[in-house]
Chains A and B, each alone.
Chain A
């Protein structure tokens, strides 16, 4: 029974990580080969072989790392596991159905991401594309993780490429849910993990965006899973979790432009945790930190080098200078109001943000150090998005907020739910301890 308990989440973890990191390894290898002069059509097969080999080696290393790890005993009826995972499976199926019915339906899905995919599917970008103002609306400065994955699918012979490409979003949603279940099961047991996974899948914006073909759900997968592994590292101290946190943060930086500050925030939170830790030698902490940073840099490295050398054109934002910030800082109260109103849009978030705010109000003083770390991470991510709109060059900037805020918030949903689960568990643990303290003398008197 013990083996099967551990086996359930271990399999979910291998599949989730295999998809998330295998995808990023494939596209990063694809881009490195393209930069090395290999025609984009010829780069697909070697990049795929590299990714499959990487996934196989990684799965074996993970199995070794997880051997002998203690698992939390299930704390509730097994039917809850079926209900929670069933809810998640239904949501993924609905997202996949919507993606097949209307492939790449979201505006950015075709005008930005799939356009780039078509370029790489048909022989690679034309010379000068990354500096060409005629195609500036396709955001040449956005990373290429999603487009390169779509490009490989556009090349599949006699298959509707757009339909296959549209299924990448639901696949990323499924991987995120598997990783969520696997990670939370290690901390809180399978029933709580399954219920939390079901709740995550029912935040309406998540399956909706997954079906639309934008890169926000893939980014939510990388950023959310990285935050989850950071929590696991803080709570269980397994180096494999720290390493996976770094690799997934790198995946975030390789998926969307705002993934880079998200990855930096995750690394900052990790580094702060290491500085505050006193339970291991300084050399061991320095070694782990170095491995995590190298892991985070590995996947987006070809893109980061390329952007450093070529400086692809960007749009939407003013120069990031203190002078621009001061000139437009007056926008901040309006931006904060937009954020608050958007978080109350039940059609996008259901009661997620309301439930989180309520739980945090009750649990704020009793939050564990890792809970406080997650809260700071969430506030940092939301804060970075708010500051980004101060630099918006849309006229009016409020149109920029209206058209992109829901997509940005999707990226923070897994982290918000993670914090909600941690705060909920803090509340109940505290309550149990209080009850225990009150009931002990009574038992003594009775005896």
Chain B
């Protein structure tokens, strides 16, 4: 059984001051949070991209290698890397912060060359106006999964 120590000196003012401090943090905090709760969360806004990547996952084997060309380039690549694992995903541009938001200006020929270099048999296009006669395996929203000729 424990021993009860005496109340610390100034306990009444200590409690009152703590009530004040708690109110000082909790009242503005509650107001800020009510605004935060009203804001929709991030990835839900990209449900179409996720839906497209889900279709790509269903259409490719786990050992597949894919090249991603998207707009914005870094985001499409990151999301594909996450959702398509264990498939190996390559990017068409550097993912450093300077180029993360700049859409690549690439032709189908450039993309084919990059895909062959990376050993990728499929090309994943997201919101990019690239024209090609190659076979489209999956098409969802602004996304296309295109077969690259070996």
A: residues with CB less than 8 A from B are: 2-3, 5-6, 67-73, 75-76, 80, 84, 87, 94, 98, 101-102, 104-107, 110-111, 114-115, 118-119, 122-123, 126, 134-138, 188-189, 191-192, 195-196, 198-199, 202-204, 207-208, 346-348, 350-352, 355, 359, 394-395, 399, 420-421, 424-425, 427-433, 436
Contacts and interface: CB of A to CB of B under 8 A. Distances in A.
Q: Give the secondary structure class of A's interface.
A: helix
9 contacts: A2-B1, A105-B44, A111-B81, A115-B82, A119-B86, A195-B21, A202-B30, A203-B25, A425-B8
A203 B29 contact: yes
A384 to B, nearest CB: 23
A204 B24 contact: no
Interface residues of B, number: 53
B120 to A, nearest CB: 12
Contacts of B33: 94, 202, 204, 207-208
Interface of B: 1-15, 17-19, 21-22, 24-30, 32-33, 35-37, 40-44, 62, 74, 78-79, 81-82, 85-86, 88-91, 95-98
B36 A347 contact: yes
Q: Give the secondary structure class of B's interface.
A: helix
Contact of B14 (A5, A188, A203, A359): A188
A102 B43 contact: yes
A336 B26 CA distance: 27
Contacts of B30: 202
Nearest to B39: A208
Nearest to A84: B22
Given A76-B15, A204-B33, A208-B33, A432 B28 contact: no
Given A2-B4, A195-B18, A122 B86 contact: yes
The 8 A-B pairs with the shortest beta carbon distances in the complex, nearest first, are A432-B10, A102-B41, A75-B11, A350-B29, A202-B29, A105-B41, A76-B15, A202-B26
Given A191-B15, A425-B14, A105 B42 contact: yes
A204 B29 contact: yes
Given A75-B11, A395-B98, A427 B17 contact: yes
Contacts of B74: 137
A317 to B, nearest CB: 13
Contact of A98 (B12, B37, B78): B37
